[in-house]
Amino acid sequence: MEELKQKLKVQIIEALNLQDTRPEDIDDNAPLFGEGLGLDSIDSLELMVLLERQYQIKVEDPREGRKILQSVQSMAEFIQSKQQPA
């Protein structure tokens, strides 16, 4: 899980071109949108593309996307739940 979160942070920074942000600047539970990293709805679409390209997970519904993309923690949990089907 820790490894996955670390990897995600690097991927997010790269995908969204967050030039002045380092992985350690992103708190696992900090909101990605609004207050936290200051991301917007276009970023959320880009993060869904990241999930699809890097993890082969397709998020169809933008509303569902919002929940998954709340934080690095929620993204990682979602990826893990998809990778290890119960």
By the criterion CB under 8 A, which residues form the site for other proteins?
Answer: 16-20, 38, 40-42, 45-46, 48-49, 52-53, 58, 62
- Cβ proximity to other proteins, 42 vs 86, nearer residue: 42
**Joined tokens for residue 6:** 């670390």
**Identity of the residue, 2 or 56, whose beta carbon is nearer to other proteins in the bound complex:** 56
Shortest Å, Cβ 84 to other proteins: 22
Residue 16 or 30 having the CB closest to other proteins: 16
Shortest CB 64 distance to other proteins, Å: 11
Residues in contact with 30: Cβ distance below 8 Å, sequence separation at least 6, in sequence order: 36, 37, 71, 72
Min dist CB 49 to other proteins, Å, is 5
Give the H/E segment covering residue 3: helix 2-15
Place of tokens 């993204």: 75
| DSSP character at residue 49 | H
Residues 51/57, Cβ–Cβ less than 8 Å: yes
